[in-house]
Amino acid sequence: MARMLLDLGMARGPLLAFVLADPVISLPSILVVRRFTGTKQTLVYVVLIVLFCTLAGLLYGYFVS
């Protein structure tokens, strides 16, 4: 799938952020995490995942291109 998105013109930085965050913040995984940790901790978990995956994508895109 990553190769297809690259062929369609997606930059490598946003692609890295997407590939890192997609399996982690899918609805089924969020529901499982919420069952074990509670709503507040799950919200913090999702926000941190989005933040750090975005940061990784920005840094990777900056240094690769």
Domain range enclosing 54: 2-64
Q: What is the pLDDT of residues 7-59, one digit of tens each?
A: 999 999 999 999 999 888 899 999 999 999 999 999 999 999 999 999 999 99
Q: How many whole angstroms separate alpha carbon 22 and alpha carbon 19?
A: 6
What span, in angstroms and rounded, lies between the C-alpha atoms of 4 and 63? 22
Q: Please report, for the chain, how many H helices and E strands are present, in that order.
A: 4, 0
The residue to which tokens 């940790």 are assigned = 37
Domain count, the chain: 1
pTM: 0.83
Cβ atoms < 10 Å from Cβ of 57: 21
